[in-house]
Amino acid sequence: MHKKQISIKSYALSFILLYILIFTLSSLIAFLDIKKLNNNISQANINAGRLELSDAINALVTKHQSISNNFADWDEVRQQIDNPIHYSYWQTHRLPNINLLPEDFIEAAVYDINGETLDKTSTATLPKTIISSDLKSYFDIKKNVPLLIIISPVMMKGVNGASKKIGYIATKSEVLGHLLSIKQFDHIKISSIKLLFQEKKYIEVNQLINFIQFNVKESTQTLLITGQIKQILFKNTTILVVFALIFYFLISYFLSRPLRQISTYIDALRNQPELQLSQNLNTNFHIHELENVKYSLSQYQEKLQQVYSNLDEKNQELWEMAHHDALTGALNRRAFEEHWANVAELFSESRCQVSLILFDINLFKSINDSYGHPFGDEVLKKISYAIQKVLRQGEKTYRIGGDEFAAILHNCKPDDAIIIANRCQASISEISFADQGVTEPVRASIGVAHSDLNNPTSISDLLWQADIAVYTAKKPGQAHVVTYSEKIKNISTTILSSKINNIVFNAIETGDDIKMFYQPIINLDENKVEYYEALLRIKANNEIIPPDKIFQIIEAKKLDYELDVVIFKQIISDLNRAIIPPRTGISVNVSGPSIIHEKIVEQLSTFIPYLSQYKIVLEITETSLITNINHASDNIKKLKDLGFLIALDDFGSGYSSISYLSTMPVDIVKFDITLIRQLADEKQFSIINHLAKMIGETGHLLVAEGIETEELKEKIKQLGFNYAQGYLYGKPSPTIEQ
Amino acid sequence: MHNIIIKKILIISFFIFFVTPANGETVHLDISDKITANAEFYTGKDNMPFVLILHGFMLTYNFPTVKNLAESLNESDYNIITPNLSLGISQREKSLACEAIHTHSLEQDIAELEQWFKWLENKTDQEIILIGHSTGSTHLINYLSKNPSTKVKKLILIAIPDVKIGFQKNQFQELQIKAEKLIANNDISLQNFKMAYCDKYPTTAENFISYLELSKEKIILNLDKITIDKTLIVGTEDKRVDHAWNKQLTQHGVNIIQIDGANHFFDDEHEFDLLDFIENIINKK
């Protein structure tokens, strides 16, 4: 999964944005610090304002106290204390007109030494009586206006310099109004001052500040500094943004653009490897390293193109090698399968007529065995050439197996295909091997199958149809060229039966469903079981597949060796389970292809541990042994040396030859049932009698098959057969009575 | 004239650079149970005369004309006493305003002067010279006419004021009649009278009437009773005196010295002229 990558432009943008973000954050922090500083300054302003107001009040109180003290020290006050007879007049007429008490002094009163007011009838709002122990100044709240009440003692200087108290004065002044009317505050907005006394009547001097609400002036210096800092921040931000944009442009132009061009070029190379860098990337980059990259890319591409060129050549060679048969020069099975897949696809799209011709060289193994592999190779070459020669232009010969060839014909009518197949047959027949000293003609069985234009799936059936046609052509009495039809379909029911096919294939693949049946072979002299023949049965879904059907498929699919191996394993398993009684024996059928197989000795070696207790006989059919005698002899010799006995099976069913028999390294000759059944005929009896005696005299042990009656039993005993096999002694059975 | 100016400059320079201003000692004198009067006493040499300087109407010994004169004479080793008339206010220290309640009378003032004379006689055997400024002069004339003393050798009167000055025609008589009626009715209430330069002078009728003893007529009568050396110093620019009447005083044994350009208070350079003349008078045998 290709993970999406981020472009350098995005990175640059991200870094710039990150930088701006960090700057913005730091600016924000600075801004918050400024704000905090402002708050601190504001708080300090408030404190300063409070202090200022407090100081102003204290100064005013002190000033009024001083004025009151001066008033108390006034001669006329002493005059009134000494002689208060005219006090009312003095207070009414004199006091209001003196300069000693400023305008904000609303009222003043004089008291005697006992604190009693001099004016007994006064309607003044000042206290009537002064308590000598409490001369503290205070604010008297009237209609939300604080009036400062100051009480001062009146002193008289003594003769000896000491002073003595002779009375008191009290003054009432409207301090705050006066204060607000004249005072210019540094920190406080005078207009904002509010007095909040609520229900208070009496407030101590130092508490007055707590009942005054005010707003402070904005510090001009702070505003110036804050404004200046904000301006600096704004300027810096502007500069940063401008530089960020310039930086972004420079990165885009000098770095991102060239890289993008290189990237685009490399992307384009994917689809058009032949692109030339000099034509598609001809702009000069301004960065040395990028120019180097461009140059290196150019060099790399040049070398890569060389490599590609070499690789193409090698690939072509490899393809040729992979798709051609080295021996014949024809296309091989791989090429056939690839081509066939294309044909199937093409057919499903266009439904053009397709014909498939399969060629199978008759008795090719025998040819190989008889004349040697070099000759066999020569046969293959010449047949390949003979087929190709007949095919039309564009049509190819495929070697799809050891002795199998194929040809695919496009847009070819069935009749034309048959004509071509017959021409091929004729061409093969005309091949002369006289140069190699062989005068026998080589034939091939040819199967032809045509696609059915009305059936879209017919193309997939062509292979097995042609296969059946070849199989049919190989049958004795059949024409060498057979075209698949419904008629021959029935002949090959077994092969067609996909169900049986599946069962057999599965049995070979897994070993499941393989079941061995054992039929006793009796020692006629001792009248006891000499050994048992292991007979294959495949049982699936409670259905036993008949051996003839099994072997039809095995032969058609050439799975002889694979089946034998599975059978060996099953017999070993049965031996391990002691199904076969000890000190008897077992005969194992070995097919023709198996006995010449290079690994047959190795496979059969698994029986060696049982040789001490069991007689193990390998039964090889007469036909397979004769056709493969050269290759089989080595293996048979090795097996005999290992302790196996070799039996020639089905003797008399084929082209039995006494001369062959004399050269065959067999221990036992098993007369085919067809010969035994002929014993009723006297003439045949005499021939078989002589044949048996002759073979017996050469040291071979004789086995008679198909003994079903006592009469037949007596006859074979009379003929000198050593062993007998047949229903008289027992049918093939999965179990053996111990 | 030039010599005088140079002399003044020298004196000023002396005072500024060399002379430590003399500081008097406050002397308290219990006049009655409630009233204590103060005086400033400047100690001079034992063999030097004692000079009593009395301030003007409602003023104090701190009034510059008095204080400067006292300090200057003390610099000349004279023993100086400058009593403050209490004017009914114990330990009065400030000048009394016209509008203040005036509970004092001439009798009380003279009684206080008598006590100070007693204090002075107890203090020294040296000859005594009396100097009065403005109404202080009239108080001294009044006292001395009633209490002649052998110790008192000279009486120096500075700018004797005319108590009727500033009054409109018949105004003084009308007030006098009003006061006499009030007295006759035993009315002791405060009334607004006019006294000297005070247009508003709240006092009782009796107290007001007492100061009529300081009229020009009474002064002449009293001067005639005083036999010691009497000198009147008057500024030519003094608006509060009756210059014509002053000239008549020569007929009553008063030597008159006029200082050109000086006003009632002998401000500025006239202060030095005043001092010169006074020293000359004191030193004159």
For residues A322-345, give the mean pLDDT: 87
Q: What would the two tokens of residue A696 be?
A: 């017996």
Strands A615-621 and A585-590: parallel
Give the integer Cα–Cα distance in Å for A352 and A354: 6
Minimum Cα–Cα distance from B32: chain A residue: A82
Name the pTM for this structure. 0.50
Give the integer Cα–Cα distance in Å for A6 and A14: 10
What local confidence, expressed as pLDDT, does residue A656 receive? 57
- Are B101 and A76 a contacting pair at CB < 8 A? yes
Q: Chain B contact for A528, CB < 8 A?
A: no
Cα atoms in the Cβ-side hemisphere of radius 13 Å centred on B134: 22
Instruction: List, for residues A149-166, the tens digit of each pLDDT value.
Output: 999 999 988 767 788 899
What domains are there in chain A, each with its CATH number? 11-213 (3.30.450.20), 324-491 (3.30.70.270), 498-725 (3.20.20.450)
- Are A82 and B96 a contacting pair at CB < 8 A? no
What local confidence, expressed as pLDDT, does residue B119 receive? 92
Q: Chain B contact for A78, CB < 8 A?
A: yes
What local confidence, expressed as pLDDT, does residue A627 receive? 64
Nearest Cβ partner for B99 among A74, A75, A94: A94
Q: Which region among A68-72, A348-352, A455-459, B40-44 has the lowest average model confidence (pLDDT)?
A: A455-459
- Are A78 and B101 a contacting pair at CB < 8 A? no
- Are A83 and B103 a contacting pair at CB < 8 A? yes
CA distance B122 to chain A (A): 18
What local confidence, expressed as pLDDT, does residue A403 receive? 86
Q: Is A692 exposed, middle or buried (0-12, 13-18, 19+ CB in 10 A)?
A: buried
Find chain B residues with C-beta within 8 A of A91's C-beta.
none
- Are A78 and B89 a contacting pair at CB < 8 A? yes
CA distance B98 to chain A (A): 10
- Are A89 and B90 a contacting pair at CB < 8 A? no
Inform me whether the pLDDT recorded for B8 exceeds 60. Answer: no
For residues A453-478, give the mean pLDDT: 76
CA distance B81 to chain A (A): 17
Find chain B residues with C-beta within 8 A of A98's C-beta.
97, 99
ipTM of the complex: 0.85
Instruction: List, for residues B46-91, the tens digit of each pLDDT value.
Output: 899 999 999 999 999 999 999 999 999 999 999 999 999 999 999 8
Find chain A residues with C-beta within 8 A of B89's C-beta.
75-76, 78-79, 82
> Which of A:88-117 have CB within 8 Å of B?
89-90, 93-94, 97-98
For residues B198-214, give the mean pLDDT: 91
Q: Which region among A387-401, A444-458, A667-681, B264-278 has the lowest average model confidence (pLDDT)?
A: A444-458
For residues B147-153, give the mean pLDDT: 90
What domains are there in chain B, each with its CATH number? 24-162+214-283 (3.40.50.1820)
Q: Count Cβ–Cβ pairs < 8 Å, chain A vs chain B.
A: 56
- Are A78 and B90 a contacting pair at CB < 8 A? yes
What local confidence, expressed as pLDDT, does residue A181 receive? 73
Nearest Cβ partner for A75 among B36, B93, B99: B93
Residue type, A164: K
Give the integer Cα–Cα distance in Å for B85 and B92: 8
Inform me whether the pLDDT recorded for A314 exceeds 70. Answer: yes
Alpha-carbon torsion (B4, B9, B11, B12), positive or negative: positive
- Are A75 and B94 a contacting pair at CB < 8 A? yes
List b or e across B255-284, with b for residues whose CB sees 16 or more CB atoms inside 10 angstroms. Answer: ebbbbeebbbbbeebbbbbbbbbbeebbee
Q: Is A675 helix (H, G, I), strand (E, B) or coil?
A: helix
Instruction: List, for residues A339-364, the tens digit of each pLDDT value.
Output: 888 888 877 777 778 899 999 888 78
Q: Is A482 helix (H, G, I), strand (E, B) or coil?
A: strand
Find chain A residues with C-beta within 8 A of B36's C-beta.
156, 159
Strands B25-30 and B36-42: antiparallel
For residues A472-491, give the mean pLDDT: 75
What local confidence, expressed as pLDDT, does residue A457 receive? 63
Spell out the alpha helix ranges (H) of chain B: 2-13, 64-75, 106-123, 135-146, 171-184, 205-210, 216-225, 243-248, 270-283
- Are B30 and A159 a contacting pair at CB < 8 A? yes
CA distance A78 to chain B (A): 7
- For residues A723 and A223, the model is more confident at A723
- Are A159 and B190 a contacting pair at CB < 8 A? no
Q: Chain B contact for A163, CB < 8 A?
A: no
Q: What would the two tokens of residue B155 be?
A: 């009486």
